[in-house]
Structure 1
Amino acid sequence: MILRKYMSLLGVGSAQIDLILSKDQYCKDESVKGEFHLKGGIVEQEITRIECDLIVTDHQSKEEVMIGSTSLLTSRKIKNGHLEKIPFTFDLPTELLPSNDKRSYRFKTRLTFSEGVESKDQDQITITE
């Protein structure tokens, strides 16, 4: 049991997060809906925060800019092997430019624990006119 706890502190067998979106193509000013899926690891862990940032990447300059962010502060425990679903909503700004071969958008999600390594997830979306 102690070995499993130390392994989870290093990120091996720790809880994972996955952002599941209802679709992957959106218009600017649309509301993105989905769920955070939290899957418990090999030991129970205390979750302190879920953060999700919308990032735009300019493929010519290689520049990444955070457009918006949402955070959920919590002090819940996720049991080993347990699956928990938390609703997600994000309102896209009206000034977004459409996705193309020079510009792309993604949600970057982080799950933070009271102890241990963060769990991360990335989900690409397409913005249309």
Structure 2
Amino acid sequence: MINTLKKWIYRDKGKVDLMLNHHSLLPGDKISGEFLLKGPKSKKKVSRLECDLMLLDKETNTEKMVEVATTIYMSKVIDDKDWTKIPFSYTLPASMAKCSDDASYRFRTRLIFADNVQSIDHDEIKLTETH
């Protein structure tokens, strides 16, 4: 009973972190980095890793998907001992518009385990006019 209560209170969902090589980019630029994955204390099987390019409206605090950056299906058990690294590469759409102060672009990354438990990470990027 106590262990069940502890698991409910201290849910360990695992972790995902997208580490980008650059955060300031031009439309059409290629961006790269790596996903870092760490499982919960109890080993779990990862079913997929999703990363979407999102447009965030800061005024209304709403997100709109621009496009899917990547979806990686896997059947890998990960634990909390070591970080699992997966390379990331994506070319920004050339038609992306520079955002106003009320909006920004970001990558939303979701690590989804076989039992549908999710871990979510957000990484903001800035569009510039020159490098």
CA contact (8 A) 1:99 1:128 kept: no
Q: CA deviation at 1:116?
A: 5.1
The 4+ residue runs of structure 1 with deviation greater than 4 A are: 60-63
**Which residue of the partner structure matches residue 18 of structure 1?**
17
- Structure 1 SS opposite 2:7: helix
Show the 5 A alignment for 1:1-40.
Answer: 3=3, 7=7, 12-40=11-39
Deviations 1:24-83 (A, max 9, x none): 111100011011000122111100010011011234565532111120010111023221
Identity %: 34
TM-score by length of 2: 0.84
Go from structure 1 to structure 2 and tell me whether the alpha carbon gap of 1:29 and 1:81 turns closer, same or farther (over 3 Å shift).
Answer: same
Letter in 1 for 2:57: D
Q: Supply the distance in 1 between the matched residues of 2:45 and 2:106 (Cα, whole angstroms).
A: 27
1:55 and 1:99 mapped to 2: Cα distance? 12
Q: Aligned with 2:99: secondary structure? A: coil
Q: Distance in 2 between matches of 1:11 and 1:95?
A: 44
Quote the offset at 1:86 in angstroms: 0.3
Q: What's the C-alpha RMSD, in Å, of the aligned pairs? A: 2.3
Aligned to 2:113: 113
Residue type of the partner of 1:102? D
Residue of structure 2 in register with 1:104 after alignment: 104
Would you say the 8 A contact 1:44–1:80 is kept in 2?
yes
- Matched AA of 2:15: Q
TM-score between the two structures when normalised by the length of structure 1: 0.85
The 2-side partners of 1:20 and 1:56 are apart by: 19
Point out where structure 1 has 5 or more consecutive residues left out of the alignment. none
Structure 2, unmatched stretches of 5+, are none
**How far apart, in 1, do the equivalents of 2:56 and 2:82 lie?**
34
